[in-house]
Amino acid sequence: MVETRQVINFSEKLSKITDLWQPRIIAEMNDYQFKVVRIEGDFIWHDHPETDEAFIVLSGQLRIDFHDRAVSIGPGEMFVVPKGVEHKTFAEREVHLLLIEPRGVLNTGNAGGDRTAQNDIWV
């Protein structure tokens, strides 16, 4: 089998994204996807009843609020939000994230609403 995939540079992909809170697919591994996203400000409370969700911070400082605590995640750090656990992301200044989750996951999970982004756009 000939291998034709390309090396993926996170900064180069992020430079092509203009909108905040719009995850863009950069790679697939089996039925999982890697997505980059630029965020700033507050998101909405939601959970993903069917899957864990992994966050890797590429730049900036991310806060994830849970109902009983909050975690702060910086560059070179990661966090896995367990399935079914309600959470809310927050970034005081712009944060660049790498998300890893199964294909088809919506950013707003079970909550829906007008913050829901398209979940099938590659960059």
Tell the smallest beta-carbon distance from residue 57 to a copy of itself (Å). 9
Closest CA to 72 of 84, 57, 94: 57
Nearer to a copy of itself, 39 or 105 (CB): 105
- First vs last C-alpha separation in the chain: 26
List interacting residues with a copy of itself (CB under 8 A): 1-3, 5-11, 26-30, 32, 34, 51-54, 56, 58, 66, 68-69, 71-73, 76-85, 87, 100-102
Closest CB to a copy of itself among residues 68, 114: 68
Q: Are 102 and 35 in contact (CB under 8 A)?
A: no
Q: How far is the CB of 73 from a copy of itself (least distance, A)?
A: 5
* Token pair 């089998």: residue: 1
* Least distance CB 60 / a copy of itself (angstroms): 14
Question: Which residue do the tokens 């088809």 mark?
Answer: 104
d(CA 113, CA 63): 22
